[in-house]
Amino acid sequence: MFAFVVNRMLQAIGVMLVVALVAFVISTYVGDPINNMVGQEATHEDRAQLRKDLGLDDPAPVQFGRFVADALQGNFGISYQMKRPVSRLIVERLPATLELVFVAAVIALALGVIGGVYTGLRRNAVSSRAIMTISLVGVSLPTFVIGILLIYLFAVLPKGCIHGFYLFGQLLFTCAELAAISLPSFGRGDTVDIGSWQSGLFTADGWRHLILPGITLSLFNLTLILRLVRSEMMEVLRTDYIKFARARGLTNRAVHFGHALKNTLVPVITIAGIQIGTLIAFSTITETVFQWPGMGLLFIQSVQFADVPIMTAYLVVAALIFVVINFTVDVLYAAIDPRLRADRAATGRA
Amino acid sequence: MNRWILTTALALALAAGAPAALAKNKLVWSSQGDALTADPHAQNEGPTNTFNLTVHEPLVSRNRDMKLEPALALSWKTINPTTWEFKLRQGVAFHDGTKFTADDVVFSFQRAQLPTSDHRNSLDTIAEVKKVDDFTVHFVTKAPNPILPNQITQISVMSKAWAEKHKVEKPQDYKNKEETYAVRNAMGTGPFKIVRRDPGIETILERNAAWWGWKTAQGGGNVDELVYKPIKNNATRMAALLSGEIDFVLDPPVQDLDRVKRDPKLKVLEIAQDRSIFLGMDQGRAELRNSDVKGKNPFADKRVRQAFNLALDRDTIKRVVMRGLSAPAGIITAPAINGHSKDLDTPPKANVDAAKKLLADAGYAKGFTVKLDCPNDRYNNDEQICQAVVGMLGKIGVKVQLDAQSKTLHFPKIQKRETDFYLLGWGVPTFDSHYVFNFLFQSKGSWNATGYKNEKLDQLTTDMAGEIDLPKRNGLIAAAWKQAKDDVVYLPLHHQVIAWAMAKKVDMPILMNDQPQFRYAKVAPAPAAKKTN
């Protein structure tokens, strides 16, 4: 087990170094940040001086070495655009992304598992087929289209009401009621400061702001988990031990939830873990659409500005998140599943 | 930890049940990019200047018609060719109550001239700023400068005492690893003061009731709370306006204006801006970098440049690409700029046959290929304008290869002289033609990538900078424009027309320099306070 852990750690360090190198190389091709940092009246000499001050004239290996040495101390430099330390910027923006991902993950997991179990158990019912078809929407529509659509349906339309909302000639909601239940289209709303963590989970306004972006971000994973659980469920229900459990006379509930579901969930957890890493690192599009002040939005803004310190720091942090999650999942797997451990011992030298 | 969170939640629930505060006149507005810093001298950039000039004030500002008006300076005049005297307004206080005096002016201008200030290039004619008495300041210039007041309208006056107390006597230096106190905090004399600044998320300003200008023609606004929330995504920003979450959008995309106009609760204001969009051609090189013409440079021949000028159909661009929001141009400076005249600004009528004939005369009857560099995220519909230009030049036989990139990649090409043919836009914050000649026509102008070198024009530019006899100076400017137009240095396309979208309950004039002045803004009073839940 120890050798396994050490092995994984070395691999992790190797991955981090490669990512840092790639981030660094890319940053030399993104364009000239100097132009964005000075006004249009600055002279050639000013720009050359600024370039020298920032160390942009040094050879690439020197700049990379400096970058790695600083990064190991948690110092990612100072943002060209905002002139604030990058590490502090990332720490400020991380809570927003993590809360959004938390809500999206909960929605995806809860609805995905419930939906998957339901459609797995009642394979041919009309409702199941309907759910499967609608879930296709989650994977086929791009995230920004879903986001804009939800904004239009829940933020713009209700407020544009003139006569009230009628269905089959009956007045269901007055305009005032619609406006009251409409949802906000951007931002985090009122947040509470808990130390340096700005949280939107403790105010009603914060929760209202979390709904639309949370749904948008969760849709893809929801569909993924739903289909995964469904197919795993159908697979597990065909196995021998389920047949024996039924033969023994166990109730449906005991069979489905006591035995089948537990075995279904193992691969789902692996996938969900990786997907959460993806959500954290790549919530960029949802954050841009909903102006959610998280790391993804910070990253997009830094690309447009050629703010190299933020870009490289973000890529390194994203890689770190993935590496940590995958490392945890691997170790957990080996800890949970004795077969993995036994195999390694068996194939080891001796 | 758990108990702490619980108490916080409980406290919040109770607070939410309390009755609403006194109804305040609130204006919430949005645009794409937030101010970069609250330090007024660190960055010379549009949104940053807009923000800083709401919290601070300059000595001289511009009114609704872009004419100079007194702000912190009551009057100004030259007492000798190289000295301007400014008499300052009395009885003005900073937001913390300290009195405004000449010391603050001297400090601010010296600070704005430091190497780490991004405004120092506008002030490079100033040799010294001297205090004469508490309310009089002398600006000594290196050479006679007739337009000094025009050049200082974006320079904010900071509180010297406050800057010294918080150790921000210098604007942020990039070499420092820490941010200075001035990046997120400010002390000015302006109509609004900072309550909370969360860069990129939200900035809340509140009314400075002690401001001198509220009851004058330079004020008149009734806004108590000014909230700014940047929204990068165009669709989301417009959705927020349509849903009433935002009252005013500074930069609505052109294609959404019809939708806004149709909404009964919203309105659109339009005005011609001081920014002109034009094409530049490298006529200085012996051979173009990306063309099939070898051994010579087609742009060096004036007939080729004239042919291009005639091939551009500015009216069609206005109608199709800009949806009516542009003013076709004959020179690269807009109507409100000193030196502009209607005659000069009349564009030639598009004439494909005449253009082809000129090309043939120059020896390019079969046309040639050339590469056009274009930004895609800076000016209104910049990439679409370039695509239209490609089509129009194709009609006269010139095959254009379009390279549209982010401004971060495009502008360095111009400054490093690495482009044959490019699109550029230029705003004139001083509202005087010298600014245009200095950067775009002078042979060593930092944004002149045309390789155009005309000693007569260089001399005119230097002369107009120092000529204090105004009629004589305007004569020099007119001569310079005539020379520039005759030589077909640039191909003017149009002057931008900007549009602001806002709720009908907001009453605020639209301004040519795209800098909203919230001191004029009036919002319809909020409904009577009621209990919230």
pLDDT in tens, B236-278: 999 999 999 999 999 998 889 999 999 999 999 999 899 999 9
Residue B51 is classified by DSSP as H
| pLDDT tens digits along B200-222 | 889 999 999 999 999 998 888 99
* A39 Cβ under 8 Å from any chain B Cβ: yes
Question: What pLDDT is stored for residue B138 in this prediction?
Answer: 95
Percent of chain A with pLDDT over 90: 20
Structure tokens given for A136: 């296709």
Whether the per-residue pLDDT at B469 is higher than 80: the answer is: yes
Q: Is A292 exposed, middle or buried (0-12, 13-18, 19+ CB in 10 A)?
A: buried
pLDDT of residue A122: 87
| A contact test, residue of B122, B233, B259, B414 with most A CBs within 10 A | B233
Token pair recorded at residue A10: 């070395």
Instruction: Categorize the per-residue pLDDT at B174 as very low, low, confident or very high, splitting at 50, 70 and 90.
Output: low
Is pLDDT at B511 greater than 90 in this prediction?
A: yes
Q: Is the pLDDT confidence value at B526 over 80?
A: no
> Is the separation of the CB atoms in B214 and B221 below 8 Å?
yes
* Lowest pLDDT segment from A35-44, A209-218, B26-35, B121-130: A35-44
Residue B4 has pLDDT above 80, yes or no: no
CB contact under 8 A, A83 and B42: yes
Task: Give tens-digit pLDDT for B375-421.
Answer: 988 888 899 999 999 999 999 999 999 999 988 788 888 988 999 99
Token pair listed for B165: 């107390």
Q: Which residues in B291-307 are b (16+ Cβ under 10 Å) and which e?
A: bebeeebbbbbebbbbb
Question: Which pLDDT tens digit goes with each residue over B297-314?
Answer: 999 999 999 999 999 999
The residue-averaged pLDDT of A134-147 equals: 87
Chain A CB contacts of B199 below 8 Å: 82, 84
Among the ranges given (A111-120, A136-145, A156-165, B88-97), the one the predictor scored with the smallest mean pLDDT: A156-165
Calculate the average pLDDT of chain A: 83
pLDDT band for A48, please (50, 70, 90 cuts): confident
Residue B533 has pLDDT above 50, yes or no: no
The predicted pLDDT at position B529 comes to 43
Mutant choice from A41, A80, A84, A194 vs B, greatest count of B C-beta within 10 A: A41
Torsion sign across C-alpha atoms A33, A38, A39, A43: negative
Reported residue count of chain B is: 533
Is residue A102 packed enough to be buried (19+ CB in 10 Å), middle (13-18) or exposed (0-12)? middle
Residue A191: predicted pLDDT? 83
Q: Is residue A220's pLDDT more than 50?
A: yes
Question: At B16, is the pLDDT very low, low, confident or very high (cuts 50, 70, 90)?
Answer: very low
Q: Look at A83 and B232 and tell me if their CB atoms are within 8 Å.
A: no
Torsion angles phi and psi, residue A75, rounded to 5: -105, 110
Q: Look at chain A and count its residues.
A: 350
Q: Kindly report, residue by residue over A57-80, the tens digit of the pLDDT.
A: 778 788 788 878 887 887 887 887
Residue B141 DSSP SS3:
strand
Q: What is the ipTM of this complex?
A: 0.80
Beta bridge partners of B272: B497
A278 touches chain B (CB under 8 A): no
The most confident of the ranges A164-168, A169-173, B97-101, B522-526 is: B97-101
Q: Rounded to 5 degrees, what are φ and ψ at A185?
A: -100, -10
Judged by CB atoms closer than 8 Å, whether chains meet at B239 and A151 is answered as yes
B174–A54 CB contact, under 8 Å: yes
Contacts of A109 (CB under 8 A, 6+ apart): A225, A272
Instruction: Report in angstroms the alpha-carbon separations of A322 from A226, A319, A326, B74.
Output: 23, 5, 6, 62
In DSSP notation, B391-429 reads HHHHHTT-EEEEEEE-HHHHHHHHHTT--SEEEEEEE-T
Contact A202 B409 (CB under 8 A): no
What pLDDT score does B88 carry?
95
Give the range among A28-32, A81-85, B7-11 with minimum mean pLDDT: B7-11
Is residue B86 scored above 90 in pLDDT? yes
When CB atoms are compared, the residue of A82, A182, A194 closest to B199 is A82
pLDDT of B338-386, one tens digit each?
999 999 999 999 999 999 999 999 999 999 999 999 998 888 889 999 9
When pLDDT is averaged across residues B473-500 and rounded to a whole number, the result is: 94
- Show the 3-state SS of chain A: CHHHHHHHHHHHHHHHHHHHHHHHHHHCCCCCHHHHHCCCCCCHHHHHHHHHHCCCCCCHHHHHHHHHHHHHCCCCCECCCCCCEHHHHHHHHHHHHHHHHHHHHHHHHHHHHHHHHHHHHCCCCHHHHHHHHHHHHHHHCCHHHHHHHHHHHHHHHHHCCCCCEEECCEEEECHHHHHHHCCCCCCCCCCEEECCEEECCCCHHHHHHHHHHHHHHHHHHHHHHHHHHHHHHHHHCCCHHHHHHHHHCCCHHHHHHHHHHHHHHHHHHHHHHHHHHHHHHCCHHHHHHCCCCCHHHHHHHHHHHCCHHHHHHHHHHHHHHHHHHHHHHHHHHHHHCHHHHHHHHHHCCC
Mean pLDDT of A267-273: 81
Which helix (H) or strand (E) segment holds residue B8: the answer is helix B2-17
* pLDDT averaged over every residue in chain B: 89
Average pLDDT rounded to a whole number, residues B449-460 = 92
pLDDT at B462 over 60: yes
pLDDT at A205 over 70: yes
- The pLDDT value recorded for residue B450 is 93
In a mutational test of the A interface, the residue from B28, B116, B152, B232 whose CB has the highest number of chain A CBs within 10 Å is B232
Q: Closest Cα partner for A313 from A70, A54, A30?
A: A70
Q: Please determine, for residue B7, whether its predicted confidence score (pLDDT) is greater than 70.
A: no
Round to whole Å and give the CA distance between B47 and B253. 17
Coil, strand, or helix at residue B198? strand
* Position B476 confidence tier, pLDDT thresholds 50, 70, 90: very high
Per-residue pLDDT, B8: 52
Dist. CA B521–CA B523, nearest whole Å = 7
Determine how many CB atoms are found less than 10 A away from the CB of residue B33: 18
Q: How confident is the model at residue A348 (pLDDT cuts 50, 70, 90)?
A: very low
- CA B87 from centroid of its chain's CA atoms: 28
**Contact criterion met (CB < 8 Å) for A43 and B121:** yes
Quick one: pLDDT band at residue A39, thresholds 50, 70, 90? low
pLDDT band at A36 (very low <50, low <70, confident <90, very high): low
Residues linked to residue B139 through DSSP beta bridges, in sequence order:
B84, B129
pLDDT above 50 for A103: yes
Winning range, highest mean pLDDT, from A171-175, A274-278, B72-76, B445-449: B72-76
pLDDT of residue A277: 82
Q: Which of A42-51, A214-223, B480-489 has the lowest mean pLDDT?
A: A42-51
Partner-chain contact A53 B178, CB within 8 Å: no
Per-residue pLDDT for B282 more than 60?
Answer: yes
Cα–Cα distance, A308 to A310 (Å, whole number): 6
Closest CA to B36 of B49, B26, B27: B49
Which of these ranges, A125-129, A329-333, A344-348, B59-63, has the smallest mean pLDDT? Answer: A344-348
Residue pairs spanning A and B at CB distance below 8 A: 154
pLDDT band at B488 (very low <50, low <70, confident <90, very high): very high
